[in-house]
Chain A
């Protein structure tokens, strides 16, 4: 089966819906070989490599082989820098400007590997764009909360991640995408609440403070809330895609809607505003003593 990619694939509702459509078409095809033709595509956002990588994993798990054909040099440059294309026989390009969080796959059992990745590609990177230490700590905390959420709720084989700095934008930013192909938020929430919900409504429930589908001896319901509260203060952006649900927070507004088809897992894409000098820890209550 040959699939011609459209000219521009961005991290927005249409972009995600398009990628879901590609997956569903390839999945339902009888062909064992899927060729994604990039001839008309001149823009493929770098962080979407995590989504495409997850789709390739799913198709391969169904016995299909995915080929990428005729990639535009500009697109190839970005996807070689973040090493996504190395799995498809391309050589990597050096990350000259230190603006890449490389595309990586993690086994959820190995939590140290992700920690090492964030340390080497985010915290200790010499060319990390200027930001306050408080902001760096909050960003790292949010990413780790999300990753743990994917590990514990998704119960998947691999977690795909990728990221990109945009230091020269009017508002410098960092985009990070985490994709797990396990149990979707919708399934977890619907099973827990025993109610019929749309994907968008299920995500909306999951991001609220105190809401968790955990039932064991470890409480939950804080990780997504803490990430979300920070992104609000940071004036950043969050997109969550899970099953047929799309949920977005941007510029103080929340949007939730549903795709025509379903994504078999969860994508979280966060955009952090790096031009942020908020003294986060001063505006929060800091108790002197911890009382149980």
Chain B
């Protein structure tokens, strides 16, 4: 992990302690993606966030897999000050996004086959 020079305070970007909407997640994604694209390490600071949803995290964090590899994300993105009870949401979103973007087409086919089965 490259040492982060930029710290992005999530509560300041979304203007509050409730990180629940896809729109707010998109704001975070846009800022993180620019930094990672330029290979500038960035830390997303979740201190002060009281309520979070997978809808927000799918847009803010999961969507990063549409542009970056796990290696790139591990190198240039650090997530800090996440409430222990919210960590499980991050884990689910990251796992789900990896699965979703790994091969979107074959995943869609797998879903269809699963329904047939």
Contacts and interface: CB of A to CB of B under 8 A. Distances in A.
A109 to B, nearest CB: 9
Nearest to A224: B54
A98 B22 CA distance: 30
A218 B23 CA distance: 11
A149 B54 CA distance: 10
A54 to B, nearest CB: 21
B62 A140 contact: no
Contacts of A115: 16, 18, 20-21
A145 B12 CA distance: 22
A290 B94 contact: yes
Nearest to B17: A119
B115 A205 contact: yes
Interface residues of B, number: 48
B77 interface: yes
B90 A290 contact: yes
Contact of B96 (A134, A193, A210, A287): A210
B55 A152 contact: yes
A254 interface: no
Nearest to B51: A140
B59 A218 contact: yes
Determine chain B's interface SS by DSSP, over half rule: helix
B54 A223 contact: yes
A36 interface: no
B8 interface: no
Contacts of B90: 287, 290
Given A218-B22, A222-B92, A292 B53 contact: no
Contacts of A291: 70, 74, 94
B20 A222 contact: no
A171 B24 CA distance: 36
B88 interface: yes
Nearest to A115: B18
Contact of B84 (A145, A221, A281): A281
Give chain A's interface residue range (CB within 8 Å of chain B). Answer: 35 or more
Contacts, number: 116
Interface string B95-117: 01101110010001001100100
Contact of A217 (B51, B53, B63, B115): B63
A256 to B, nearest CB: 15
Contacts of B89: 226
Contacts of B52: 141
A280 B55 CA distance: 20
Identify the interface centre among A205, A280, A291: most chain B CB within 10 Å of its CB.
A291
B85 interface: yes
Contacts of B63: 217-219
Interface of A: 111, 115, 119, 134, 137, 140-141, 144-145, 147-149, 151-152, 193-195, 205, 210-211, 215, 217-223, 226, 280-281, 284-288, 290-292
28 contacts: A111-B20, A115-B21, A134-B85, A141-B20, A141-B52, A141-B53, A144-B20, A144-B53, A145-B53, A145-B55, A148-B22, A149-B55, A193-B115, A194-B112, A195-B112, A210-B96, A210-B99, A217-B66, A222-B54, A223-B53, A226-B89, A226-B92, A280-B85, A287-B91, A288-B87, A290-B87, A290-B91, A291-B74
Q: Closest 5 CB pairs between A and B?
A: A148-B55, A292-B73, A219-B100, A281-B85, A144-B20
Interface of B: 16, 18, 20-25, 50-56, 58-59, 62-66, 70, 73-74, 77, 79, 82, 84-85, 87-94, 96-97, 99-101, 104, 108, 111-112, 115
Given A119-B18, A222-B96, A226-B54, 13 more contacts: A111-B23, A140-B51, A141-B52, A148-B56, A149-B55, A193-B111, A195-B115, A215-B108, A217-B66, A219-B63, A287-B91, A292-B73, A292-B77
